[in-house]
A and B are shown apart, each in its own frame.
Chain A
Amino acid sequence: MNERVIDARGLRKTFGETLAVDDLSLQVSPGEIFGFLGPNGAGKTTSIKMLLSLVTPDEGEGEVLGHPIGSRAARARVGFLPEHCRFHDSLTARELVRFHGRLHGMRGQPLETRIDQLLSRVDLLDAADRPLRGYSKGMLQRAGLAQALVHDPRLVFLDEPTSGLDPLGRLLVRDILNELRSNGVAVFLNSHLLGEVETTCDRVAFVKQGRVVHHLTLGAAPSSFEVEIRAVPLDQPVLDGLARFGTIAGRPAEDRVRLRVTDDAVLPDVSRWLVSQGARLYEIRGRRKSLEEWFVDVMGEDQRPG
């Protein structure tokens, strides 16, 4: 029994001359919230579509929930909230969730009970019988989330699930994601909101030009801690000495340098060493590297806004 909920190997997709995804290989485990990050046009949505059988890969293979990608069985316990949350807008939220429940083979009272539970959970019970065309974007996203969860999935794909939500809506979605994780449900999260991803995800993959270029386990990333030092002089012998404690990040200034280290335990040693070398130490402070900084570092300075 394959314990991965997603195990993709070498997926590739081109549209005409355009390479959308190249050699996508990734694994996601049960109960894991997995972030999929990259600039616009990096191939994130195409990757999700391949895993959901909406787009056929040109090459590669893999399994979703132990079944071959593209098979009906692979989609049976998968939920999906698409990026733009477009549904039949003549339906009410209750009808939307009911229809999607039926497509998963649900019927009768268990389905109706589940609909009430979910609409209550996404705080739409009072608007449940109004047509979706009158909903705000945030309400549509919450209705979409309910349809994605109606069949108690084991894996949920969420494409920008919080982009239209206000802070309270985001908190609600975050709570739901945490509930899913604690129930062993894996979440594949595609989002541009790096703060959200950082708060929510266990692990992220960075995608650039159709390739996964970096994996990062959040909170446990080696070299994710940085020390900012303001001292004089920061000449070459001092910089060489500091390199014993970690990696110099970026270009040092006359009186400032950033040192990438494994954790904050090295701070006292760095302070002592600088003083022992006769340097005048004005400031030293450690901080964890943000996901946004990771993003910029991984994507490189050649990356332009999408």
Chain B
Amino acid sequence: MSSILTIAHLTLYDARRRKILAAAALCAAVFLAVFTTAIALATRELIERPAPFIERQATFAVFSILGLYASNFLSVLLAALLPVDALSGEIDSGVMQTLASKPIGRSEIVLGKWLGYGLVIVTYFLVVAGGALIATRVAAGYLALNIGTALPLMVLELLVMLSVSIAGGTRFGTVTNGIATLGFYGVAFIGGWVEQFGALAGLQSARTLGIGVSLISPPDTLWRLAAYYLQPDIVRTLGNGGPFSAASVPSALMVWWAIGFTMVTVAVAVYSFRGRQL
């Protein structure tokens, strides 16, 4: 266990000085600035109009979900790209040789990296999402619903992406792994749209296909389930397309599926890295 913590510590130490994290922090700062400005202006406009209470609440709810969607999306990108060379890059550069020659198991290296990057990514997400929630609360006096349920779902989504990125790094080169991991997310995204469209248009075949795709690539399902919990009834009733749609609500069993998916992916990463010739 102490070796896992040491590798996690090393990963944290290294990650915090990397440019990709600085770039992600800059993106988050720009996003929060734009988001805060937007919600402050919207609030002022709704008060000046004046809009009915329900309209205001619905607008703030959508703004709040938008903020969390952007936080989630930025974090997904970070979860896919930050660890993309965690193993492949260190194998290619030779850094891994020194590490793997130590009296530690290959599994400890994989788990340590997973833990280290997981901490960075979850912290990043909580800071950005927390910023968006605070901005909505301060500027509009609105606090998103069910954040105690929605945020863990989004964290789980990030851990799925992290696990896929690390598992890919045990076999693929850095660029290939980056493309494969983003492709995995793209498949999930398309699957989600197909499912939503199928539900809105009453096409069961499309909906079934979308659900099938979500089983192969579950990240988007987790976001849609989180979005469902974040929406007040009025927004759900209004219905909409896109990433906030509640037209087809994912089953709660998908949470267990995603947890199992993550555990199996990490196990595959460990198995694959054990057999890797360094």
Q: Shortest CB–CB separation between residue A11 and chain B, in angstroms? A: 14
Question: When the two chains form their complex, are residues B101 and A52 in contact, meaning their CB atoms are under 8 A apart?
Answer: yes
- Asked if B102 and A103 sit within 8 Å, CB to CB, the answer is yes
Residue A62, interface by CB 8 Å: no
Contact yes or no, A87 B98, CB < 8 A: yes
Is B49 on the interface with A (CB-CB < 8 A)?
no
* Inter-subunit contact B100/A54 (CB<8 Å): yes
A48-59 CB mask vs B (1 if < 8 Å, else 0) is 010011111000
Q: How far is the CA of A76 from the CA of B6 in the complex (A)?
A: 16
Q: Mark B77-118, 1 if CB is under 8 A from A, else 0.
A: 000000000000000011101111111110000000000000
User: Chain B contacts of A84 at CB under 8 A?
Assistant: 94
Provided the pairs A54-B277, A55-B277 are in contact, do residues A72 and B104 lie with their beta carbons within 8 angstroms? yes
B278, A49: Cβ atoms under 8 Å?
A: yes
Taking CB atoms, residues of chain B closer than 8 Å to A55 are: 277-278
Of all chain B residues, which has the CB nearest A56? B277
Please report which residues of chain A, range 104-155, place their CB below 8 angstroms from some CB of chain B when the two chains form the complex: 104-105, 144, 147
Q: Do B13 and A54 touch across chains, with their CB atoms under 8 A apart?
A: no
Among residues of A, the one whose C-beta sits closest to the C-beta of B274 is: A56
Binds B, one of A94-102, A177-185, A227-235, A262-270: A94-102
Q: In the complex, which residues of chain B have a beta carbon less than 8 angstroms from the beta carbon of A15?
A: 277
Complex alpha-carbon distance, A25 and B261, angstroms: 45
Q: Which of A56, A73, A80, A90 contacts B98 (CB 8 A)?
A: A80
Main secondary structure of the interface of B (DSSP, over half): helix
Report the bound CA distance from A95 to B101 in whole Å.
18
A83 to B97, CA, bound (A): 10
A210: Cβ under 8 A from any B Cβ: no
Cβ-based interface call for B237 (8 A): no
Query: In the assembled complex, which residues on chain B have CB atoms less than 8 Å from the CB atom of A54?
Result: 97, 100-101, 277-278
A93 at the interface (CB under 8 A from B): no
Across the A-B interface, give the 3 residue pairs with the lowest CB-CB distance, nearest first: A90-B17, A86-B94, A54-B278
Mask for B1-17, Cβ within 8 A of A = 1, else 0? 01100110110011001
> Does residue A12 face the partner (Cβ distance < 8 Å to B)?
no
A75 on the B face (CB < 8 A): yes
**Residues of chain B within 8 A of A87, CB atoms compared:** 95, 98
Name A's B-contacting residues (CB within 8 A).
15, 49, 52-56, 72-73, 75-76, 78, 80, 82-84, 86-88, 90-91, 95, 99-100, 102-105, 144, 147, 157
Please give me the residue from chain A that is nearest to B108 by CB atom. A103
CA distance in complex: A125, B44 (Å): 60
A53, B104: Cα distance in complex, Å: 11
The answer to whether B104 and A103 have CB atoms under 8 Å apart is: yes
Q: Which residues of B contact A82 (CB under 8 A)?
A: 94, 97-98
| Chain A residues within 8 Å of B93, by CB | 86
A102 to B97, CA, bound (A): 17
> What's the least CB distance linking B79 to chain A, in Å?
20
Residues of A within 8 A of B97 (CB): 49, 52, 54, 80, 82
Min CB gap A96→B, angstroms: 9
A91 with B102: CB separation less than 8 A? no
Whether the Cβ atoms of A90 and B101 lie closer than 8 Å is no
Using a Cβ–Cβ cut-off of 8 Å, how many residues does chain B contribute to the interface with A? 25
Query: CB distance A72 to B14 under 8 Å?
Result: no
Distance between Cα atoms of A18 and B6 in the complex (Å): 37
Contact of A91 among B14, B103, B277 (CB under 8 A): B14
**Distance from A243 Cβ to chain B, minimum over Cβ atoms (Å):** 50
Bound CA–CA A53/B10 (angstroms) = 22
Residues of B within 8 A of A105 (CB): 2
Interface residues of B in 1-52 (CB under 8 A from A): 2-3, 6-7, 9-10, 13-14, 17-18
A54 to B99, CA, bound (A): 10
Q: Which chain A positions have C-beta within 8 A of B10?
A: 88, 99
Separation of A103 and B277 alpha carbons in the complex (Å): 21
Q: Which residues in B have their C-beta under 8 angstroms from that of A56?
A: 275, 277
Q: Tell whether A75 pairs with B277 under 8 Å between CB atoms, given A88-B95, A90-B13, A91-B13.
A: no
| A-facing residues in B198-218 (Cβ within 8 Å) | none
In the bound complex, CA of A49 to CA of B17 (Å) = 30
If A82-B94, A90-B14, A91-B14 touch, does A99 touch B6 (CB 8 Å cutoff)?
yes
Complex: how many Å from CA A86 to CA B102?
15
**Contact at A100–B104, with CB atoms within 8 Å?**
no
- Contact (A86, B101) CB under 8 Å given A91-B14, A99-B10: no
Q: Is the CB of B98 within 8 A of A72?
A: no
**B102 contacts A88, CB within 8 Å?**
no
In the complex, which of the residues B2, B98, B275, B277 contacts A100, with contact meaning CB atoms closer than 8 Å? B98
Q: Which residues of A contact B17 (CB under 8 A)?
A: 90
Q: Least Cβ distance of B116 to chain A in Å?
A: 12
Instruction: Evaluate contact between B98 and A78: CB separation under 8 angstroms.
Output: no
Enumerate chain A residues within 8 angstroms of B102, measured Cβ to Cβ. 75, 100, 103-104
Q: Which of B3, B18, B101, B275 has the most CB of A within 10 A?
A: B101
Additional A-B contacts beyond A86-B98, A88-B14 (13; CB < 8 A):
A53-B101, A55-B278, A72-B105, A82-B97, A82-B98, A84-B94, A86-B93, A87-B98, A90-B18, A95-B13, A99-B13, A105-B2, A147-B98
A28 to B278, CA, bound (A): 24
In Å, the complex CA distance between A86 and B278 comes to: 14
